[in-house]
Amino acid sequence: MIIDVIGAGSLGLMYGGALIYAGEEVRFWTRTSEQAAQLLEAGMKINQPDGQVWRVQAGSFEARDIASLPEVWNQKPGHMIMLMSKQGGIQEIMEILTKVRKLDAALFCFQNGTGHIPVIAKAFPSTRVYAAITTEGAKRIEEIEVTRAGYGETQIGSSQHAGKPIKAEIDTLVDKLNKAGFDTKSSNEIDRLIYRKLVINAVINPLTALWRIPNGELLTSRERRNAMKQLYREAVAVYAAHQIEYDTDLWEQVVAVCQSTSSNWSSMCMDVLHGRTTEIAAINGSIVAMAEDAGMHAEAHQLVCLLIEGMPLREG
Ligand code: KPL
């Protein structure tokens, strides 16, 4: 079974590399042909939290730039796609995927934020689109080396905003990911988990990115906790206005994620440190939009959107 991993950033490399290490047939689709060439020549390396280094041999997988996907797929279709790019890259990837003659596959979306699942499901009616929510974190050291930040949890399920699911497809990926060393479960309530993760990201990501601190350091001062609380309160008020259910201990869950990922640099903090576009629009921006829909204002979320969007970007 061919697993196509689209996007070889930190999470893409970590999941894809671990699947190859576990014996799966993986094709990486990279943003640049340079990264694909490096992967093909040198293989890749995953540094595990326990100090082990998993070396994925060159020759044991395929890697190409994403632009060549339609041509290759039309000759040799894959079975499962893991879409690992950031939200900001989805549009471009979708444009490339529309060139595939018939994209008959299970497509697993690993993005933070909301909104992308129904858009992808509508654009590719012959795929089954699933959502994956993860607390795994990784840091890309080089184009071909990644360090896993700790042991997280991955949940996969079918969103009510996507087409009819095939349970066996979810179970197959769950099984493969567990064998590759990821604690993975299937979930019947993935939409609830998406909204749960949205709050977690909307509180942790912009603040860690603004203060340039690892997740755990958010808890170390009253001022930082107060800022977190303000974002949290606004987000759950917006959920209440939309009748979106959330766990009564969601605040404690946000704190628990800061603790369990205390030495991680959030994905948004990493983007800001590298001068890259962030996922702020899909995270806090979606809370601002939901607030507006309900005739409310989410002022703290609006402010962090402006602060993050005003950060200098680096070319390339
Ligand atoms: O999902 C994350 C991210 O960095 O995007 C958290 C859970 C905050 C872990 O760092």
pLDDT per residue over 273-302, tens digit each? 999 999 999 999 999 999 999 999 999 999
> What would the pLDDT profile of 91-107 be if each residue is shown by its tens digit?
999 999 999 998 999 99
> What would the pLDDT profile of 252-269 be if each residue is shown by its tens digit?
999 999 998 888 899 999
pLDDT band at 229 (very low <50, low <70, confident <90, very high): very high
Q: Would the pLDDT of 27 be above 80?
A: yes
Answer yes or no: is the C-beta of 257 below 6 A from any ligand 1 atom: yes
What percent of the chain is predicted at pLDDT more than 70?
A: 99
pLDDT band at 88 (very low <50, low <70, confident <90, very high): confident
According to the model, what pLDDT value does residue 163 have? 73
Fold of 192-309: N-(1-d-carboxylethyl)-l-norvaline Dehydrogenase; domain 2 (1.10.1040)
Cα–Cα distance for residue pair 144/92, rounded to 1 Å: 23
Q: Would the pLDDT of 81 be above 60?
A: yes
Answer yes or no: is the C-beta of 207 below 6 A from any ligand 1 atom: no
Q: What is the mean pLDDT of residues 59-82?
A: 97
Ligand 1 atom having least distance to the Cα of 208: 8
CATH superfamily of 2-188: NAD(P)-binding Rossmann-like Domain (3.40.50.720)
DSSP assignment of 52-92: -EEEE-TTSSEEEEGGGHHHHHHHS--SEEEE-S-GGGHHH
Answer yes or no: is the C-beta of 205 below 6 A from any ligand 1 atom: yes
For the chain, give every residue range classified as CATH 1.10.1040.10.
192-309
Q: Would the pLDDT of 316 be above 60?
A: no
Cα–Cα distance for residue pair 36/63, rounded to 1 Å: 5
Considering only CA atoms, which residue is closest to atom 2 of ligand 1? Answer: 266
pLDDT band at 87 (very low <50, low <70, confident <90, very high): confident
Q: What is the mean pLDDT of residues 307-315?
A: 89
Ligand 1 atom having least distance to the Cα of 266: 4
Ligand 1 atom having least distance to the Cα of 265: 10
Q: Would the pLDDT of 315 be above 70?
A: no
User: Best mutation site among 86, 134, 215 for ligand 1, i.e. most ligand atoms within 8 A of its Cβ?
Assistant: 215
Q: Give the bridge partners for 6, in sequence order.
A: 29, 83
According to the model, what pLDDT value does residue 135 have? 87
Considering only CA atoms, which residue is closest to atom 10 of ligand 1? Answer: 266
For the chain, give every residue range classified as CATH 3.40.50.720.
2-188
Residue 78 DSSP SS3 = coil
Distance 201 CA to ligand 1 centre (A): 6
Considering only CA atoms, which residue is closest to atom 9 of ligand 1? Answer: 266
Residue 153 DSSP SS3 = strand
- Two structure tokens written together for 6: 């689209």
Cα–Cα distance for residue pair 32/67, rounded to 1 Å: 9
Q: Would the pLDDT of 160 be above 90?
A: no
Distance 60 CA to ligand 1 centre (A): 30
Ligand 1 atom having least distance to the Cα of 215: 10
Burial-class residue 40 by CB neighbours within 10 Å (0-12, 13-18, 19+): middle
Considering only CA atoms, which residue is closest to atom 7 of ligand 1? Answer: 135
Q: Would the pLDDT of 52 be above 90?
A: yes
What percent of the chain is predicted at pLDDT more than 90?
A: 87
**Residues near 187 by Cβ (< 8 Å), separated by ≥ 6?**
133, 155, 156, 157, 193
